[in-house]
């Protein structure tokens, strides 16, 4: 599908910046709940914000996105300042971490999808890379916090990313504008996570062989 490369690059940068901010807040909030100090919170925020995208870029054989501009690190610093300034307000919002985590998942899934397509890979690879971009940072965060990664537990998380990637693929195949496809994918992933959380929808658990 044809689109203006400069416009698409600008859109992808905006998505990555917003995703970085959202994921950084999520990571810092989780670190705060575990009583990490300021440095520990920043490290956790950075790992969530750039972990998935770094893994994606290494697998695609390109320079990791955060090494091309200092803005991603600055964005994480701003996220930490945001959490410090509004800690009490965020604490009163029981689902604040869920909101930022979901926004980051949706935004980074889209960034991973489009970057993989731009590198010339088939869409099935793009769907996997979108999932890695959106969820790998959270895995790193949970390992740092010494707990079972969220994507391996009952919540619909990585599957929301995969289904969102499939929707993105379908829309592009139908010649839908890439901006509209991105917006629809973002809304779909957010709604999928919200509905799954509200109605306690999850994948079946594996049963041990006796």
Over the stretch 136-163, which tens digit does the pLDDT of each residue have? Answer: 998 998 898 888 887 887 678 999 999 9
d(CA 126, CA 124): 5
Structure token digits, residue 112 = 């991973």
Average pLDDT in the chain: 88
d(CA 197, CA 184): 20
pLDDT at 87 over 80: no
Structure token digits, residue 53 = 């995208």
- High-pLDDT (> 90) share of the chain, %: 52
pLDDT of residue 103: 87
pLDDT at 208 over 70: no
Neighbours of 80 (CB within 10 A): 22
Residues 6+ apart with CB under 8 A from 82: 25
pLDDT of residue 153: 74
Find the largest Cα–Cα distance for the chain. Answer: 58
pLDDT at 22 over 60: yes
- More confident call, 87 vs 5: 87
Structure token digits, residue 185 = 């994918």
**Which CA distances in Å does 163 have to 24, 89, 151?**
24, 33, 14
- Average the pLDDT over 18-27 and give the result: 86
């Amino acid at each position: 599908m044809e689109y203006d490369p400069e416009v698409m690059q600008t859109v992808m940068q905006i998505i990555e910046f917003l995703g970085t901010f959202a994921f950084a807040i999520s990571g810092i909030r989780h670190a705060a709940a575990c009583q990490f100090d300021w440095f520990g919170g920043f490290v956790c925020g950075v790992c969530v914000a750039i972990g998935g995208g770094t893994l994606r870029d290494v697998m695609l054989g390109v320079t990791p996105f955060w090494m091309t501009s200092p803005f991603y690190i600055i964005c994480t610093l701003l996220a930490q300042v945001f959490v410090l300034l509004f800690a009490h307000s965020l604490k009163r919002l029981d689902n604040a971490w869920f909101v930022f985590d979901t926004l980051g998942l949706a935004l980074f899934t889209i960034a991973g999808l489009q970057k993989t397509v731009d590198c010339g890979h088939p869409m099935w690879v793009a769907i996997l890379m979108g999932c890695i971009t959106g969820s790998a940072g959270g895995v790193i965060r949970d390992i740092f916090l010494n707990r079972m990664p969220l994507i391996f537990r009952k919540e619909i998380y990585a599957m929301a990313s995969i289904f969102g990637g499939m929707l993105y693929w379908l829309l592009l195949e139908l010649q839908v504008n890439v901006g509209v496809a991105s917006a629809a994918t973002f809304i779909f992933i957010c709604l999928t996570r919200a509905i799954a959380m509200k109605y306690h929808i999850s994948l079946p658990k594996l049963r041990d062989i006796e």
